[in-house]
Chain A
Amino acid sequence: MGFFTDTSICIGCKACEVACKEWNQVPEDGLNFTGMSYDNTQGLGADTWRHVAFIEQPRRLGAQQVDLHHEGDGQFRWLMSSDVCKHCTQAGCLDVCPTGALFRTEFGTVVVQEDVCNGCGYCIPACPFGVIDQRKGDGRAWKCTLCYDRLKADMEPACAKACPTKSIQFGPLEELRTRAAGRVEELHQRGVSEARLYGHDPDDGVGGAGAMFLLLDEPEVYGLPPDPVVSTRQLPDMWRRAAVSALGLAGAVAVAFLGTRR
């Protein structure tokens, strides 16, 4: 199960952010006027499991008719997108967690067990999307659970339920992929040629994400990595390299001792 976030119909209301916090009892994390358009949340973290990005661009959106009379052609668009944990098929955070606090649920999602996490912090840099983070004053790592408890009760995640325009959709990934592809097709026909999917491809660097997006610009514009690859994909090579190095170290010691006259 997972999310499809269609940013072309996101109105940036942030209902997802609040609904998430209310359900999961995530702490408020500071009053900061950032000047980043209407985004005063800034990014995902331990206390932000849904984050709505706001991007102001002097560009045209599809066939939208806008003339804001600025110098230049007056074209303008305001992109909004609700970001969330990707619940990767190959999840870096899950792979590197030494305690088993992170685990893959029966729904295919990736969840931190707050009663297990010892706050080692390894999952944080292991996430190529910058999702999981450490909660200050608590020390443990927190992130979106895709409302694991709600899924158990056959309820949809709080954010998807609240979303007024159904920009956030929840369902079986296969179904969402089909819907997402259809939506891109539709937008292309309507002249929104910049519509593209992100995180939908099971062959991508994280084996496909449990949260896919329809974006209207390059992923990095939204703060998403353009081509994320789970770090553990290279782990066997890394281990080999480390083993060779360790053997080298042992060998060097041996050589040093054997080669040294008393």
Chain B
Amino acid sequence: MSPRRETPMVPDAEFRSYYGLPVINPPVWEEREIAGYIFLGGLAGASSAMAAGAALTGRPGLARAAKLASALAMTGSMGALVKDLGKPSRFYNMLRTFKPTSPMSVGSWILAGFAPAAFIAAGTDLTGRFPRTGTAATLGAAVLGPAVSTYTAVLLADTAVPAWREGWRELPPLFAGSSLAAAAGVGLAAAPAGQSGPAVGMAVIGAAVELTASARLESATGLAGQAYSAPEAARLLRAGRVLTAAGAGGALAARLLGSGGRARPFRRRSIGALSRASGAALILASACTRFGVFRGGMASARDPQYTVVPQRARLDSGSAGGGQAGAGHPHVAAAPGHAGAVQVGE
């Protein structure tokens, strides 16, 4: 509330707040580092899975591209993560405890297994030495990779940031799909033409999942989802959708066009270019999606309505997250158990 009349800060709104200030403290994470970390991590994780698939199905070119991409992305993402720490010199404290309650702790431990595996897989591939170790690393990275891709969804959802928190169901498939598509993009963009076939399938599945989840994120998360309509987020998310669709479509088209067998060299080159462009589009799409999700969350954190309105509605409908308020609030007596808390934002 504000003094009436004179304060322009709080317009007449259907909800009340303290001078329009946010209820929660918005994350202090830098967008480039953290959204970048999530994007790159997703890319690395899915790429490692693709690398194993490629290795197991005898597609060394694709495998190498995937392994390299994974290692590079991991390097970038770890770099971003460390850089974003308030006290980077204490990065090692990430492994001080193991806390299942902390997605970041769980993630750190996963990364502690994944990152060396990804690096060894790439290193052995490049150098050709220790092939058995390389295979083991490739498989190991593949096992952990999908977790690397999706744990970040939990990382975001497990906060009080309304747009992330309310999107806890949508974010994991979104991130999985987006990672899948990005890795597919790597395959399409960097693998020899003859080996990138599976990437098309990955692209199509990934895109389908990502587009579905993305749509649900905005529509099925109640008021919080509207934060994704904030211009700075919506632009990126739209770009992500367009690029995803285009990338997947392009990859599929290239695949279908190229499947005719003996195409002429010009046409082959064009198809190859289309395929690589599609791959690039998918990578870019994945980045746009993550940055868009990040921005949507930030927007929802800065505006108290996203925090207050759903909670107030919950209270007023008698489905509080727990017994809330006290005497003077008739609905308190009817406070339900904890289960209600899960059903937020519907």
Our pick among A119, A184, A245 for the contact of B327 (Cβ within 8 Å) is A184
A1 within 8 A of partner (CB): no
Judge whether A249 and B200 touch: CB under 8 Å: no
Say whether A140 faces chain B, with CB atoms less than 8 Å apart: yes
A100 contacts B by Cβ under 8 Å: yes
Q: Contacts A203-B323, A204-B324, A245-B176 hold; do A221 and B93 have CB atoms under 8 A apart?
A: no
Partner of A261, one of B88, B184, B197, B329: B197
Query: Given the complex, which residues of A lie within 8 Å of B307, measured CB to CB?
Result: 128, 225
| CB of B267 closer than 8 Å to a CB of A | no
Asked if A225 contacts B311 (CB within 8 A), the reply is yes
- Say how far A262's CB is from chain B's closest CB, in angstroms: 7
Contact across chains for B322 and A229 when beta carbons are under 8 A apart: yes
Q: Are A256 and B198 in contact (CB under 8 A)?
A: yes
| Stretch of A14-22, A24-32, A52-60, A165-173 lying at the B interface | A52-60
Q: A246-B146, A255-B201, A256-B53 are in contact. Are A224 and B327 (CB under 8 A)?
A: no
**Residue from B21, B23, B169, B341 in contact with A229 in the complex, judged by beta carbons closer than 8 Å:** B341
Q: How far is the CA of A129 from the CA of B200 in the complex (A)?
A: 45
Check A233/B198 contact, CB under 8 A, given A125-B301, A226-B311: no
Chain B residues with Cβ below 8 Å from A235 are 101, 103, 154, 158
Stretch at the interface among B26-34, B224-232, B238-246: B26-34
Size class of the contact patch on chain B: 35 or more
A242, B19: Cα distance in complex, Å? 37
B325 touches A120 (CB 8 A): no
B198-225 interface (Cβ within 8 A of A): 198-202, 205-206, 209
Q: Encode contact with A along B297-325: 1 for CB under 8 Å, 0 otherwise.
A: 10001001001100110110000111111
Residues of B contacting A193 with CB < 8 Å?
Answer: 328
Nearest chain-A residue to B8 (Cβ)?
A35
In the complex, chain A residues 26-44 whose Cβ is within 8 Å of any chain B Cβ? 34-37, 39, 42-44
Chain A residue with Cβ nearest B146: A246
Among B108, B145, B160, B209, residue most surrounded by chain A Cβ atoms (within 10 Å):
B160
Bound-state CA distance A119–B19 (Å) is 29
Contact with B along A42-84 (1 / 0, CB 8 A): 1111000000010111100000000000000000000000000
> Cα distance A216–B268 when bound, in Å?
74
B127 at the A interface (CB under 8 A) = no
A253 touches B322 (CB 8 A): no
Q: Which of A126, A204, A224, A238 contacts B160 (CB 8 A)?
A: A126
Asked whether, in the complex, the Cβ of A225 is within 8 Å of the Cβ of B308, the reply is yes
- Decide yes or no whether A210 CB sits under 8 A from chain B: no
What does the 1/0 interface line of B80-107 toward A look like (CB < 8 Å)? Answer: 0000111110110110110101111101
Verify B16–A218 contact, CB threshold 8 A. yes
Q: Are B102 and A220 within 8 A (Cβ)?
A: no
CB of A74, distance to nearest CB on chain B (Å): 13
CA distance A58 to B5 in the complex (A): 11
Minimum distance in angstroms from A16 CB to a CB of chain B = 18
Whether B93 contacts A99 by the Cβ 8 Å rule is: yes
Q: How large is the interface on A (under 10, 10 to 19, 20 to 34, 35 or more residues)?
A: 35 or more
A221 to chain B, nearest CB (A): 5
Are B94 and A120 in touch, CB under 8 angstroms? yes
| Shortest CB distance B227–A (Å) | 13
With known contacts A119-B85, A138-B86, A227–B320 Cβ distance under 8 A: yes
Q: Would you call B86 and A141 a contact (CB within 8 A)?
A: yes
Task: Note all chain A residues with C-beta closer than 8 A to B145.
Answer: 250
Q: Are B25 and A96 in contact (CB under 8 A)?
A: no
Provide the residues of chain B in CB contact with A35, threshold 8 Å: 7, 9
* CA–CA, A261 and B259, complex, Å: 10
Given known contacts A98-B108, A227-B312, A249 and B176 CB-to-CB distance under 8 angstroms: yes
Residues of A within 8 A of B200 (CB): 256, 260
The 8 Å CB contact of B46, one of A55, A206, A249, A257, is A249
Q: What are the residues of chain A within 8 A of B53 when measuring CB–CB?
A: 253-254, 256-257
Given known contacts A117-B87, A185-B327, A253 and B17 CB-to-CB distance under 8 angstroms: no
Task: Flag whether B39 is at the interface (Cβ < 8 A).
Answer: no
Q: Smallest CB–CB gap between A153 and chain B, Å?
A: 27
Partner of B17, one of A127, A203, A220, A238: A220
Chain A residues with Cβ under 8 A from B269's Cβ?
none
CA distance A130 to B158 in the complex (A): 15
Given A116-B96, A200-B326, A205-B320, answer yes or no on A238-B172 (Cβ-Cβ < 8 Å).
Answer: yes
Contact indicator A127/B24 (Cβ below 8 Å): yes
A96-B158, A250-B49, A260-B197 known; A226+B308 contact, CB < 8 A: yes
Top 7 A-B pairs, shortest CB-CB distance: A119-B86, A139-B86, A223-B18, A197-B326, A205-B321, A256-B201, A204-B322
**Chain A residues at the B interface, C-beta cutoff of 8 Å:** 34-37, 39, 42-45, 53, 55-58, 92, 95-101, 116-122, 124-135, 138-141, 181, 184-185, 188, 193-198, 200-201, 203-207, 217-229, 231-235, 237-239, 241-250, 252-257, 259-262
